[in-house]
Structure 1
Amino acid sequence: MEYVRITSIEDPLFSKLHNLMKEVFPPEEVLEFDLWKEPLEDPDIRVFVAVHEDEVVGATEYRYYKDWNIAMTDFTIIGKPGLSIGRFLAQNRLKDLQNLAKENGNQLFGMFAEIYDPYQVENYEFGGVKPMDPYVRREVLSHLGYKRLDLSYVHPSWENNGEAVSGLDLCFMPMDESVTELPASLVADFLTTYYSVLSAKPQEWVKMIEDIRSRETIALLPL
């Protein structure tokens, strides 16, 4: 299996990746094909696919923020069972991020991720791919070390229609397991930067950011 970076919508692998995203994710979580042009060309956004026998069987998108020495996992897709795709992606992603942090003169502090909460919403299908089952994914990410932030979380829809998307937790995987909280300012600044690409912000999200900024720290709780 190969770990291949995609940097253009003209790459034939991207068409396969986009089709895979539409198969496994809800529509409001998938950016339109043409809108991927700038993100893929952005050197700070890293989109990698797992290629097995010329097919895209998995993928992950993430980014490293030098100023905060943290990363964000945008998504992880496991397209087929029985190939250890999840472990393959997680190991290669972490190795890449650790190298980026090292180039920045640091050791990676940790990584954010939005994680579906099937205990809130039970109708996530994810294309019928069993490894993508939200109960399975939640437990796997807990095993990796992710913890949920102590807040009621929503995010703006990627359809940029001003709708608030709920049913997820904002989580963080500290590289140092003794870390039990995050500065609230870091969380607010990160989310504001991360969603700056979307112009239509729901009022629920704006209020959430205000609430975060009113706090000193945010606890990391078991996932």
Structure 2
Amino acid sequence: MLYHRITSIDDPYFAELHKLLQTIFPPEEVLAYELWREPLEDAGIHVYVAVEDGKVVGSTEYRYYPELRVAMTDFTIIGQAGKGIGRFLLRAREKDLARLAEQSGTEPIGMFAEIYNPYESEEQHAFGGVTPMNPFVRREVLSHIGYNRLDFPYVHPSWDHEGQAVSGLQLSFLPADENLAFLPASLIVTFLEGYYEALPNKPQAWLDMINQLRQQEQVALLPL
């Protein structure tokens, strides 16, 4: 299996990747095809696909913020079951993030991820494409890996640029130190403001969430 980085929508594998995104995620979570051009050219955004026999069978996107010493997993996609794609992507991503941290001379604190909470409303989570991408399965796997949810009500701006507040997810964190029980609220605010800087239309619910976090010193890490 090949771990291939995509840096342009003109990459022959990008069309397959975008189809996978549309299969796995609901429409408000998927950036329009042409709007990927600029993000893919950003050296700080790492989009890789798993390629087997010339076909895209999985993908992951992530970033590393050396000034914050944290990473963010934007998504991990498994296109087919029974091929070990998830493990392949996880290990390849771990090695690349370790390389990025070493290059920046930093020691990572951990990695953020937005994780669906299918227990809130099963009807709103009838997506996933293949069994490994089912929100219940994904949540359990990420819990086993070591992710914890951050203890505050979470929304994010929709990626369709409509300025809607997207709920049903929990901002979660995989700490490098598994005994870590809290994160500084200021770290979360700085991360979220930078991460969603590219979306000009922020819903009021998101702004209210950020303001609430500003009034806190720390946020607890709880089991998923």
2:9 match? 9
List aligned pairs for 1:84-99, cutoff 5 A. 84-99=84-99
**Contact between 1:24 and 1:125, CA under 8 Å: does it hold in 2?**
no
1:183 match? 184
1:48 match? 48
Q: Does 1:213 align with 2:214?
A: yes
Letter in 1 for 2:210: I
Q: Any stretches of 5+ residues in structure 1 without a counterpart? A: none
Cα distance in structure 2, aligned partners of 1:53 and 1:26: 28
Secondary structure of 1:12's counterpart equals: coil
Letter in 1 for 2:181: T
Cα distance in structure 2, aligned partners of 1:151 and 1:166: 12
Cα distance in structure 1, aligned partners of 2:15 and 2:118: 29
List aligned pairs for 1:34-73, cutoff 5 A. 34-73=34-73
Aligned residues: 223
**Contact between 2:128 and 2:134, CA under 8 Å: does it hold in 1?**
no
Cα distance in structure 1, aligned partners of 2:203 and 2:219: 22
Q: Tell me the CA shift for residue 128 of structure 1.
A: 3.2
Cα distance in structure 1, aligned partners of 2:28 and 2:76: 16
Q: Tell me the CA shift for residue 127 of structure 1.
A: 4.5
Q: Tell me the CA shift for residue 69 of structure 1.
A: 1.0
Cα distance in structure 2, aligned partners of 1:40 and 1:160: 18
Q: CA RMSD in A?
A: 0.8
1:166 match? 167
1:155 match? 156
Q: Any stretches of 5+ residues in structure 2 without a counterpart? A: none
Cα distance in structure 1, aligned partners of 2:112 and 2:37: 24
Secondary structure of 1:128's counterpart equals: coil
**Contact between 1:97 and 1:108, CA under 8 Å: does it hold in 2?**
no
**Contact between 1:57 and 1:78, CA under 8 Å: does it hold in 2?**
yes
1:31 match? 31
Cα distance in structure 1, aligned partners of 2:44 and 2:72: 11
Cα distance in structure 1, aligned partners of 2:163 and 2:16: 29
Secondary structure of 2:159's counterpart equals: coil
**Contact between 2:157 and 2:201, CA under 8 Å: does it hold in 1?**
yes
Identity of aligned residues (%): 60
Q: Tell me the CA shift for residue 102 of structure 1.
A: 1.1
Structure 1 stretch displaced more, 103-112 or 200-209? 103-112
Q: Tell me the CA shift for residue 99 of structure 1.
A: 1.0
